[in-house]
Structures are given as structure tokens and as C-alpha cells.
Amino acid sequence: MISEKMAKALNEQINKEIYSAYLYVGMAAYAASMALGGISNWFQLQAREELGHASKLMHYLNEQGKDLVLKAIAAPDQKFTSVAGLFDKTLEHEKEVTASIHNLVTLAKKEADYATEIFLQWFVTEQIEEEASVSDIIQKLEIGGKGGNAILVLDKALALRK
Ligand SMILES: [Fe+2]
Ligand SMILES: [Fe+2]
């Protein structure tokens, strides 16, 4: 059995994961409005992945006999000014999520909650992948000079994500 404090912290993380999905849905819509179907596809799949993260946490709470407590999901900022900016914002956001996961691990360690600590390892590893994949896109855009052609090449590449 995990502590009430840990259950509350995991519930807050569920909210953050669903917020992430919401943020990426907004970005997918922005890309679609710019006729960038490939980039839109990447963000839509990213959004779906975030809901998967939330589901993993919900399942764990249930396994530990704790209630799911759903709170309002904040509306993300939808004022995007450039396609490159979407990825900068995504990296910034994922760094915040990484910090949040690390805080959960710190709490688990403090509480000698070995089960949650082990459960969270998957998320620690996932965040490495999340940051790396977005950093890779940002680097490629920089190599391409962030101009129209670089965006179109990226759009083609991201259309392949399944
Ligand atoms: Fe996530
Ligand atoms: Fe991922």
C-alpha cells in the first residue's frame, strides 16, 4: 500500500500527462492549419502517447488500492508563432515533466516506497527518450536553417511516425 501523499502526487502527475496530451493536440491543430500534415501527425501521436502515460499511472493507483482523483485540465496556450517554436515549447515542457517525475522518485525514496520507485523507473527512461527525440528535431531544423524547406523536409519525415 502506498501513502496518501504518494497517491496525491501520482494523481497530480496524471493531470500533468493529460495536460501534455491537451497541449500537443493544440499543436497538432496548429500544424494542420498550416497544411503540415506530417508534423500534425507527430503531435497527434505524441498526444496519444501522453494519454498512455496517464493510463499507466491510473492502473498503478488502482493496483495500489488508491482512488483516481480527477481535476480540471487547464487550457494550454494556443498562441503559436512558428512551427520551430512548437518544438522549442515541447522540449521546454518535457523538461518540466522530467523534473516532475524526478520529484516523484525523490518522494518514493524518502518514503522507502520501493514499489513506486521501481514503477517510476519506466517514466524516468521514457523522459530521456522524450527529450532526445524533440532535441533531435530541433537540431535538424537548425541544420536546415529553420526556413520553409527545412520545415517541409521535417513534415515529410514526421509523416512516417506511426
Ligand atoms: Fe508523458
Ligand atoms: Fe515517448
Q: Find the angle CA(38)-CA(53)-CA(133) to the nearest 5 degrees.
A: 45
Domain 4-158: give its CATH architecture.
Up-down Bundle (1.20)
pLDDT digits 0-9 by tens, 122-145 = 999 999 999 999 999 999 999 999
pLDDT digits 0-9 by tens, 6-17 = 999 999 999 999
Ligand closest in space to the Cα of 133: 2
Q: How far is C-alpha 20 from the chain's CA centre?
A: 5
Specify the pTM: 0.95
**How many angstroms does the Cα of residue 49 sit away from the middle of ligand 1?**
7
**How many angstroms does the Cα of residue 149 sit away from the middle of ligand 1?**
30
Q: Provide the grid cell at 134.
A: 524533440
For residue 146, pLDDT over 90 is answered with no
Q: What is the pLDDT of residue 125?
A: 98
Give the whole-angstrom CA distance, residue 158 versus residue 162.
Answer: 9
Q: What is the pLDDT of residue 147?
A: 86
Ligand closest in space to the Cα of 101: 1
For residue 40, pLDDT over 90 is answered with yes
